[in-house]
């Protein structure tokens, strides 16, 4: 029904109808995926316009952090640099993806308010824009990962496929979290501050900089932290270890439940989101 | 090919306003000439009724002018026609590809060059990358901006921005063109070009809906006119009866 040729908007209500409209938004955003990609790419280009290194500046600052923390903590905790540096490098880069996608999610609709209030663009387009922008950034920071993998010879032990599976599950989860905070932030302007605090807290509560060896396996402190599961399913295989199967299961369940929740919230609030802005 | 048409039936559109104390508004609810009607919904939230029970039928070749006081709902109607708002009641149906020129700065990145902005805006308007590259020369020529296209948009004057926005928006093979006010921004040369382009569009059996406070402009472009008052629409009348509608104020 929805195409470039035919636009229909009705005051019809009903739960089923709202869900079908939400689904239509999603489908349209898929048909216009090139737009989300263009917008994301434009965001990255424009943020770093006039800068020679562009997004690599963040890569460099991350790289310095990896070096500093890698060397310092290895010394403090008495772990070998070869063991700790790749661990921290991957921790920082992948946690960066999580924090970025979720924090920037808060701005997704607020930033797009002028476009949302005068075009019929699907709202999902802007969710994908945020997610894709963060993936583009990740692609830049991947230099660090490749660096440590080569330098510390991890390519001999690493297992790429489980890591990619972990990354995929992580992205699927980040996308719904990003969308949920996008809707919430549009309505309640305290949410971005709240989300930022949570993410700051999470970086210390998640084994990004430290090793969870002090905890017995599957300690509640870890298993209740979704970021732990995201990080470990990507990082462990790259370090040549095996991630706990439970983490994959948790992520899969979280993805299904999270999307069900987010999609329902979207279906219910969709017609009002533009008025929140 | 589907027939180009706009069909609006019994459209009511309310803006819920969040974060406003409804009580403090109550005292000021006396009738005013400006703006839609303010009210409190059952839940106590403040609402602005921007359009109420509006009916509109347009067919190919119709060029409708919208007139009305500030806040009478002209922009809201144009935005609703572009598909941005879900009606609270009623239905909006538009057949044909829509090009909306409501806000000049839509999707414009001031620090990006004119060419980049053409690409960006074109993408937002629904053109594919290939379509945009194919039309780039034509758009560039029509905008008349020449070497300025390689300059950041923030160095443009309002009229130059209007030229660029207009050039991109009308480059889309659109059947329905929605325009708010600003066409008067350009200089005489540009107005002449824009005029020809608009007439061309309408000749291709399109529909134009233009909101303006300028009677001359309306006479120039439109063959029909409708007056909005506090979100309530008058009948659609022939443009020759514009004076009548204006006098009814
Ligand atoms: N985003 C919004 N939130 C709340 N109220 C709004 C919003 N946009 C418009 N309104 C209200 O809707 C009514 C109609 O506004 P609209 O912008 O459509 O008027 P207009 O006819 O275009 O006026 P103008 O001639 O000044 O351009 C006004 O009362 C305005 O206050
Ligand atoms: Mg207006």
From B80, B106, B119, residue closest to A115, measured CB to CB: B106
pLDDT at A2: 43
**Distance in Å, CA B70 to ligand 2 centroid:** 7
Residue B245 and residue B227 in contact, taking contact as beta carbons nearer than 8 Å: yes
Confidence of residue A77 (pLDDT cuts 50, 70, 90): confident
Tokens (6 digits) for B19: 């974060």
**Distance in Å, CA A258 to ligand 2 centroid:** 40
Q: Find chain B residues with C-beta within 8 A of A271's C-beta.
A: 86
The closest residue, in CA terms, to atom 10 on ligand 1 is B50
For the beta carbon of residue A39, count every other beta carbon within 10 angstroms.
23
Label residue B148 left, alpha or beta by phi (over 0 means left) and psi (-120 to 50 means alpha): alpha
Confidence of residue A191 (pLDDT cuts 50, 70, 90): very high
Which of B36, B45, B54 is the best mutation target for the ligand 1 pocket, counting ligand atoms within 8 Å of the beta carbon and taking the most? B36
- Is the Cβ atom of B76 under 6 angstroms away from ligand 1? yes
> Which has the higher per-residue pLDDT, B97 or A184?
A184
Buried b (16+ CB within 10 A) or exposed e, B201-217: bbeeebbbbbbbeebeb
> Which has the higher per-residue pLDDT, B101 or A257?
A257
> Chain B contact for A121, CB < 8 A?
yes
Closest atom of ligand 1 to CA, residue B72: 21
Tokens (6 digits) for A27: 């489908």
- Tell me which range, A212-226, B31-45, B75-89, is most confidently predicted by mean pLDDT: B75-89
Residue A203: pLDDT above 90?
yes
Tokens (6 digits) for A189: 């302007």
Q: Could you tell me the pTM of the whole model?
A: 0.90
Question: What is the arithmetic mean of pLDDT over A71-78?
Answer: 89
Window from A119-128, A258-267, B59-68 with minimum mean pLDDT: B59-68
Distance from CA of A180 to the nearest CA of B (A): 19
pLDDT digits (tens, 9 = 90+) for A103-118: 999 999 999 998 998 8
Closest atom of ligand 1 to CA, residue B36: 29
- Where does residue A240 rank: exposed (0-12), middle (13-18), buried (19+ CB within 10 A)? middle
In whole angstroms, what is the distance from residue A30 CA to residue A37 CA? Answer: 11
The residue among B219, B208, B210 whose CA lies nearest residue B246 is: B219
B95–A118 C-beta distance less than 8 A: no
pLDDT at B23: 53
The residue count for chain A? 277
pLDDT digits (tens, 9 = 90+) for B174-187: 888 888 876 666 67
Report the residue of chain A nearest B48, measured CA to CA. Answer: A275
Mean pLDDT of all residues in chain B?
A: 82
Confidence of residue B232 (pLDDT cuts 50, 70, 90): confident
Question: What is the arithmetic mean of pLDDT over A152-173?
Answer: 93
Window from A111-125, B5-19, B29-43 with minimum mean pLDDT: B29-43
């Amino acid at each position: 029904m929805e195409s470039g040729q035919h636009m229909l908007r009705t005051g019809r209500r009903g739960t089923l109808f709202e869900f079908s409209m939400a689904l239509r938004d999603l489908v349209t955003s898929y048909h216009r995926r090139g737009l989300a990609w263009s917008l994301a790419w434009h965001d990255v280009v424009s943020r770093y316009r006039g800068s020679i290194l562009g997004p690599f500046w963040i890569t460099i600052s991350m790289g310095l952090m990896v070096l500093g923390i890698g060397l310092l903590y290895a010394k403090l905790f008495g772990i070998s640099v070869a063991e700790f540096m790749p661990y921290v490098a991957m921790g920082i880069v992948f946690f960066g993806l999580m924090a970025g996608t979720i924090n920037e999610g808060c701005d997704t609709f607020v930033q797009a308010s002028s476009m949302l209030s005068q075009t019929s663009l699907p709202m999902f387009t802007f969710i994908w824009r945020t997610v894709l922008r963060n993936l583009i950034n990740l692609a830049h920071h991947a230099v660090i990962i490749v660096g440590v993998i080569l330098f510390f010879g991890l390519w001999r032990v690493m297992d790429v496929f489980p890591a990619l599976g972990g990354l995929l599950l992580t992205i699927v989860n980040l996308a719904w979290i990003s969308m949920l905070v996008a809707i919430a932030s549009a309505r309640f302007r305290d949410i971005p501050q709240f989300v930022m605090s949570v993410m700051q807290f999470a970086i210390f509560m998640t084994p990004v900089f430290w090793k969870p060896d002090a905890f017995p396996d599957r300690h509640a402190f870890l298993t209740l932290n979704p970021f732990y599961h995201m990080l470990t399913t990507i990082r462990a295989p790259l370090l040549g270890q095996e991630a706990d199967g439970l983490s994959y299961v948790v992520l899969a369940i979280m993805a299904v439940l999270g999307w069900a929740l987010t999609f329902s919230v979207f279906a219910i609030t969709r017609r009002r989101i533009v008025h929140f802005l | 090919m589907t027939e180009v048409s706009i069909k609006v039936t019994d459209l009511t559109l309310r803006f819920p306003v969040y974060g406003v104390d409804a009580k403090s508004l109550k005292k000021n609810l006396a009738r005013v000439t400006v703006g839609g009607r303010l009210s409190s919904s059952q839940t106590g939230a403040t609402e602005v009724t921007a359009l109420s029970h509006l009916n509109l039928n347009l067919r190919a070749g119709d060029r409708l002018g919208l007139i009305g006081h500030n806040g009478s709902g002209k922009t809201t109607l144009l935005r609703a026609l572009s598909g941005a708002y879900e009606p609270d009641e009623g239905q909006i149906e538009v057949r044909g590809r829509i090009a909306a020129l409501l806000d000049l700065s839509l999707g414009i990145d001031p620090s990006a060059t004119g060419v980049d902005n053409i690409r960006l805006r074109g993408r937002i308007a629904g053109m594919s990358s290939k379509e945009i590259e194919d039309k780039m020369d034509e758009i560039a020529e029509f905008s008349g901006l020449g070497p300025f296209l390689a300059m950041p948009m923030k160095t443009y004057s309002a009229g130059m921005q209007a030229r660029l926005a207009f050039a991109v928006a009308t480059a889309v093979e659109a059947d329905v063109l929605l325009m708010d006010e600003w066409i008067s921004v350009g200089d005489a040369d540009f107005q002449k070009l824009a005029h020809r382009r608009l007439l061309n569009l309408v000749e291709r059996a399109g529909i134009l809906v233009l909101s303006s406070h300028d009677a001359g402009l309306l006479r120039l472009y439109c063959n029909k006119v409708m007056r909005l008052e506090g979100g309530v629409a008058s009948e659609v009348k022939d443009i020759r009866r514009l004076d009548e509608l204006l006098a009814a104020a």
